[in-house]
């Protein structure tokens, strides 16, 4: 029997909504068809700290600092590192829960 898993993610970007220059926050959840959350992730991308300007991030810097302090967000160096970590989670969840 085929089993499905889903990955729903949300990004915070800078440099314009229609054609952003990059991502500074990416988070999401991987879940099955029953809605059971198999994994969650939340990454803050360090390479973009100085490029953000007066965006949502700057207005909510204290919120991000709190998430770093309490461990609810992980700081990674680059967008590529965040994407690789999410791909690894997807692959792991497929292996553990779908049997691929």
- Measured distance CA(77)–CA(83) in Å, rounded: 11
> What is the total count of domains within the chain?
1
pLDDT of residue 100: 47
pTM across the whole model? 0.82
Q: Which domain holds residue 72?
A: 5-98
The pLDDT of 10-34, averaged and rounded, is: 87
* Weakest mean pLDDT among 25-29, 64-68, 90-94: 90-94
- Measured distance CA(24)–CA(56) in Å, rounded: 11
């Amino acid at each position: 029997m085929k089993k499905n898993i889903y990955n729903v993610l949300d990004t915070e970007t800078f440099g314009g909504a229609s054609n952003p220059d990059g991502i500074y926050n990416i988070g999401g959840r991987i879940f099955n068809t029953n809605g059971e959350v198999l994994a969650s992730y939340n990454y803050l991308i360090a390479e973009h700290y100085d490029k953000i300007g007066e965006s949502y991030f700057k207005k909510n810097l204290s919120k991000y600092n709190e998430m770093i302090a309490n461990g609810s967000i992980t700081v990674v160096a680059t967008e590529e590192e965040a994407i690789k970590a999410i791909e690894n989670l997807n692959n792991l969840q497929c292996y553990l829960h779908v049997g691929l």
